[in-house]
Structure 1
Amino acid sequence: MTELLDRFGRKHTYLRISVTDRCNLRCLYCMPEEGMVFMDQDKLLSYDHILEVASTAAKLGIRKFRITGGEPLVRPGLEELIAGLSALPGVDDISLTTNGLLLAPQAAKLKEAGLRRVNISLDTLDKARFKFIARRGNLDKVWEGIEAAAEAGLNPIKLNCVLLKGVNEDEIGRFLKLSMEQPLHIRFIEYMPIGHDDANWRDHYLPLSRVLEEATRLGYALEQDAGPKGSGPSENWRIAGGAGTFGLIHPISEHFCKNCNRLRLTADGHIKPCLYWVDELNVRPALGSPDEMEQLFRKAMDIKPENHEMAALLAGDKQSHVPTERRMSQIGG
């Protein structure tokens, strides 16, 4: 049997591949504004080595790849990797998560290489607040990226909005209206304590029940929706008659671990069975040996825990495993 089944019967068909830990933004929920230490470039897996890992994954039933970072578009030649992934037998979906700043000039060639769709991080629709949350960058450039993605035929286009209490929760209504007026798919995401259980997380965490409360307050008629391709754990809704949808990704208030089908490959070459826990497996010793690489994936299935227990952390309860010290940008989200 070639499929990847863990101890809890979950079938894994999805691998998220981080190509860099570097980013051209410093979003306040992701990394500090100053002092972030990035990997030496020679520590990154080469595209050839990533394709070697991905080839074994595809033989074991992985059908979906997502390219992440850091900001993946800061790494040159990304279209070469995408073309290689798209050529693997059995692969039917390749997507990209990006902040959009560098997307406009690259969207068409990425699509031509085999990219199907994009998720674009967008936590605010206000230019001044964008500078506050991202600490740098230009909101207009993100919109240029969104428009270029649409023109290139990257579909669906999802906008990832991390909700932060006291920072952008007052924009929920604006994002809901955007999903109604344009064929965009908003994804509200709960702030996760990846690599930093600190006051910033505890002070700004907001459960996504707030989104439905705001939709009700605004008088929107909501319809549950299957969501666009690749909706994963998102709970999806459409405002009646709307051009797009909105979804809720609530890993803390309503964790979806029982349906988890994903693994992660970090930029420096480690398979992570779970985003939150410290456990990871170094692929470098297995490079050049398909059998050893397959065994690494099997071991990842053996050590994958049942759930991540972030809710227990929020409640101050004891956890059963050790949380990772890597930040989200160092794992790939």
Structure 2
Amino acid sequence: MLVDKFDRTVDYLRVSVTERCNFRCQYCMPEKPFSWVPKEKLLSFEELFAFIKVAIDEGVKKIRITGGEPLLREDLDVFIKMIHDYKPDVDLAMTTNAFLLKGAAQRLYDAGLRRLNVSVDSLKPEVAEKIAQKDVLGPVLAGIEEALKVGLKVKVNMVPMKGVNDGEVLDILEYCKERGMVVRFIEYMENVHAHDEVKGLDSEELLSIIGSRYSYEDEGFDGHSPSHYYKLGDGYEFGIIEPHKDDFCKKCNRIRLTAEGQLIPCLYFDEAMSIKDAVKRGDIKMAALILKEVVKNKPEKNRWSDPDGEHSKRAFYETGG
């Protein structure tokens, strides 16, 4: 079992399989050229899997595949099957923008994937195009429908931004409600790679918008999830992720692995240790020692709540958000 110095059990590993993305979202990487890290610098799926086996053996129970956009990496379903076959009861999920999901959903389900988180920031084609800098809405919605059809459980994430998509909070809530999908509204997470003009809505503003149409009850936090949940009068639940509050970190149980082998203890920290050399040498004992060291050094909380703290220079597309 992996336990940090704040007595939090770390049993959740987020694995970024690529930093490449086919969107250029305003709040993430709007100015990044369409380039990618050379393939030879990335860990192969076999090398990533070698470390994942170590993590599972040390107590990791939940694995989320992320990017960039993970569906841009070929044979992703083969990688997912490796993990599923090794530990069929591991909680295996993926975060995707869903642009390529329609053609991949059945293969992912057959490989052992059961849950998806999908970003839907607008239901208006022109607004979605403005945010992602690409005409994306049709393929994204088609991908979601196909995922639901094959049996994947889908959660939707929305980043509401002032003057951009803040008028669609209720529309997206109702779109998800009609399809039995949980929606989570994410307060904008400041980062040096985002567009300078992006301004997010905080939880009070979001609740005010939702409260203008619905009554709701505060359900609190669900286990280790960073989402603060609320329940509408008809029983439908939605969440709000509030990274600027200490509660966001209090029960954090996750670490992150990049496609290049950097093991990161916290989303908003530049500090990391590399497992790349150990894995390439087949030195599983060293990989396990690095894992334990990273968990030991996991910080108590992120730097958003520190007014003097510097924003991390590591991009979210490297760590999967």
TM-score, reference length from structure 1: 0.90
Q: Which residue of 2 aligns with 1:261?
A: 253
Residues in 2 aligned to 1:65 and 1:151: alpha-carbon distance in whole angstroms: 23
Q: Which residue of 2 aligns with 1:252?
A: 244
Q: Which residue of 1 aligns with 2:46?
A: 48
Whether the 8 Å contact between 1:108 and 1:149 is mirrored in structure 2 is yes
Residues in 1 aligned to 2:156 and 2:71: alpha-carbon distance in whole angstroms: 17
**Equivalent of 2:168 in 166, 171, 193:** 171
User: What's the offset of the Cα at 1:174?
Assistant: 1.1
**Equivalent of 2:296 in 296, 302, 308:** 302
**Equivalent of 2:91 in 90, 93, 102:** 93
Please list the CA deviations of residues 69-91 of structure 1 after superposition, one character each: whole Å capped at 9, or x if unmatched: 00000111000110011122374
Whether the 8 Å contact between 1:227 and 1:236 is mirrored in structure 2 is yes
Is 1:221 the equivalent of 2:218?
Answer: no
Residues in 2 aligned to 1:60 and 1:126: alpha-carbon distance in whole angstroms: 45
Counterpart of 1:267 in 2: which secondary structure? coil
Counterpart of 2:197 in 1: which secondary structure? helix
Whether the 8 Å contact between 2:115 and 2:152 is mirrored in structure 1 is yes
Residues in 2 aligned to 1:151 and 1:176: alpha-carbon distance in whole angstroms: 20
Please list the CA deviations of residues 66-119 of structure 1 after superposition, one character each: whole Å capped at 9, or x if unmatched: 000000001110001100111223742110100011001110110010001101
Q: 1:193 to 1:91 in 2, by over 3 A?
A: farther
Residues in 1 aligned to 2:166 and 2:186: alpha-carbon distance in whole angstroms: 12
Q: 1:231 to 1:126 in 2, by over 3 A?
A: farther
- Whichever residue aligns with residue 267 of structure 2, its letter is L
Whether the 8 Å contact between 2:129 and 2:135 is mirrored in structure 1 is yes
Whether the 8 Å contact between 1:278 and 1:324 is mirrored in structure 2 is yes
Moved more, 60-69 or 91-100: 91-100
Counterpart of 1:12 in 2: which secondary structure? coil
Whether the 8 Å contact between 2:192 and 2:313 is mirrored in structure 1 is yes
Runs of 4+ with deviation above 6 angstroms = none
- Whichever residue aligns with residue 302 of structure 1, its letter is K
Q: Which residue of 2 aligns with 1:62?
A: 60
Q: Which residue of 1 aligns with 2:229?
A: 236
Residues in 2 aligned to 1:78 and 1:147: alpha-carbon distance in whole angstroms: 20
Q: Which residue of 1 aligns with 2:203?
A: 208
Is 1:181 the equivalent of 2:188?
Answer: no
Q: Which residue of 1 aligns with 2:116?
A: 118
Is 1:326 the equivalent of 2:307?
Answer: no
TM-score, reference length from structure 2: 0.93
CA-atom RMSD in angstroms: 2.1
Whether the 8 Å contact between 1:25 and 1:137 is mirrored in structure 2 is no
Residues in 1 aligned to 2:56 and 2:49: alpha-carbon distance in whole angstroms: 10
User: What's the offset of the Cα at 1:285?
Assistant: 1.9
Whether the 8 Å contact between 1:161 and 1:187 is mirrored in structure 2 is yes
Kindly report which structure 2 residues correspond to 1:3-152, keeping only aligned pairs within 5 A, or say none.
3-35=1-33, 37-89=35-87, 91-152=89-150
Aligned length: 319
Counterpart of 1:251 in 2: which secondary structure? coil
- Whichever residue aligns with residue 235 of structure 1, its letter is H
Q: 1:234 to 1:327 in 2, by over 3 A?
A: same
Percent sequence identity over aligned pairs? 37
Whether the 8 Å contact between 1:58 and 1:91 is mirrored in structure 2 is no
